[in-house]
Amino acid sequence: MRDIAVVSVAQHQEKALTNTTEVELMVPIINEARSAVGLTQDDIGFTCSGSSDFLAGQAFSFVHTLDAVGAVPPISESHVEMDGAWALYEAWVKLQIGGVDTALVYSYGKSSPGSLRDVLSTQLDPYYLGPLWPDAFSLAALQARIMLESGTVSEQRLAEIAVRSLNGAADNPLAVRSSAEATTESVLAEAPIADPLRPSDCAASADGGVAVVLAAGDRARELCERPAWIRGIDHRIDPHQPGVRDLNRAPSAQAAAVNSGAGNDRLDAAELAAPFTTQEHILELELGLGNGTAVNASGGALAGHTMMAAGLMRIADAAAQIHNERADRVLGHAASGLYLQQNLVCVMEGE
């Protein structure tokens, strides 16, 4: 295996981009990530992105955004209709194969032009669940009820997770929802929006984008004072049909954690891409996160959930903690699909 590291990250996130297209959003982010390590597109061996046409409401929308990269002369490029964390995985595989030493990975989501809670219904199977058009909050509330009635979690614990995000996000300029004053009492006093879920249980929807530069071996050491070496990366998937799953669990998250070696040593920090407090609770259990691990110091995805980028943003946030020497060993997590159906875990270390 080659040693591969995250050497540069750049991101932007806000509540809604009201006068910016996806390509206008990504030009400064991609340039910032590349120029921070002194690279231009000519120095990049492979480029991979993640996004969804269902957010843009436009077929092949990612092709427009490719204009932000500068693809002349022609570049080696790929795209996944997934969170950018999966684009990072593809780039990591490409680097493992060899032949290239650097990769640019980016993803973005602008869900504000549509109704995200309805757009997400198109993830469901088109014959049995899709025609019922259950919105994303109602589906999450069904899981929350199962978890509460089963004793998997308490409302108090969910409120604690919400407060952790609100308080942590207070110092994060990219967060779109934060409160230094929030307490479990104030969260529990909120009126539920999809009973039993309260507003603070549901991630704050955001628009944004993120770009990451990967480099292999000595190239990474040249470019970055303290590269975030990817020591393990794995993604797993649970069944699509929610009726066949135990919604108190996310076995694919546990499998990804085991296969990426997350539990082999102390983790200083973990950044989780859970769109609901219920799912953040499940992830903490499945990933085996202990007391010594700072979970979502940034506020996590709850403080700002950019569809298709929230996972790569978590990996970027975790890597940044290695870059600036606040942590030695970190975990970045990404999820996709209904009820954490798909999970990706990326474990990174500093030297």
Partner 1 sequence: MSADPRIPPAALSGEVSLPEQLADVEPVRSVRTPIRLEYDFIPGSASSGYLNAFADRKILGQRSPVDGAVFVPPRGVDPRHGAATPDYVELPDTGHVGGFCVTRLPIPGRDDLEIPYVSAWIHLDGADIGFLGLVAGIDTSEVRMGMRVRAVWKPDDELGRTAENILYWAPTGEPDIPVTAAGTNAWHAKQAAAGEQG
Residues near partner 1 (CB under 8 A): 17-21, 23-24, 27-28, 30-31, 41, 54, 56-57, 64, 66-72, 110, 112-115, 118-119, 122, 126-127, 130-131
Question: Is residue 337 a contact partner of residue 344, using CB atoms and an 8 Å limit?
Answer: no
Contacts 24+ apart (CB under 8 A), 162-165: 162/187, 162/198, 162/200, 162/201, 162/277, 162/302, 163/187, 163/200, 164/295, 164/296, 165/200, 165/277, 165/280, 165/296, 165/299, 165/300, 165/302, 165/303
Give min distance, CB of 7 to partner 1, in A: 19
- Considering the complex, state which of residue 70 and residue 196 has its C-beta at the smaller distance from partner 1: 70
Nearest to 178 by CA among 210, 202, 200, 208: 200
Residue that is written with structure tokens 């995805």 in the block: 301
- Considering the complex, state which of residue 23 and residue 146 has its C-beta at the smaller distance from partner 1: 23
- Considering the complex, state which of residue 64 and residue 145 has its C-beta at the smaller distance from partner 1: 64
Give min distance, CB of 8 to partner 1, in A: 16
- Considering the complex, state which of residue 114 and residue 290 has its C-beta at the smaller distance from partner 1: 114
Q: What is the distance, to the nearest Å, from the Cα of residue 208 to the centroid of all Cα atoms in its chain?
A: 12
Give min distance, CB of 42 to partner 1, in A: 10
Dihedral pair phi/psi, residue 268, rounded to 5°? -75, -35
- Considering the complex, state which of residue 117 and residue 314 has its C-beta at the smaller distance from partner 1: 117
- Considering the complex, state which of residue 54 and residue 89 has its C-beta at the smaller distance from partner 1: 54
Give min distance, CB of 214 to partner 1, in A: 18
Give min distance, CB of 72 to partner 1, in A: 4
Give min distance, CB of 60 to partner 1, in A: 15
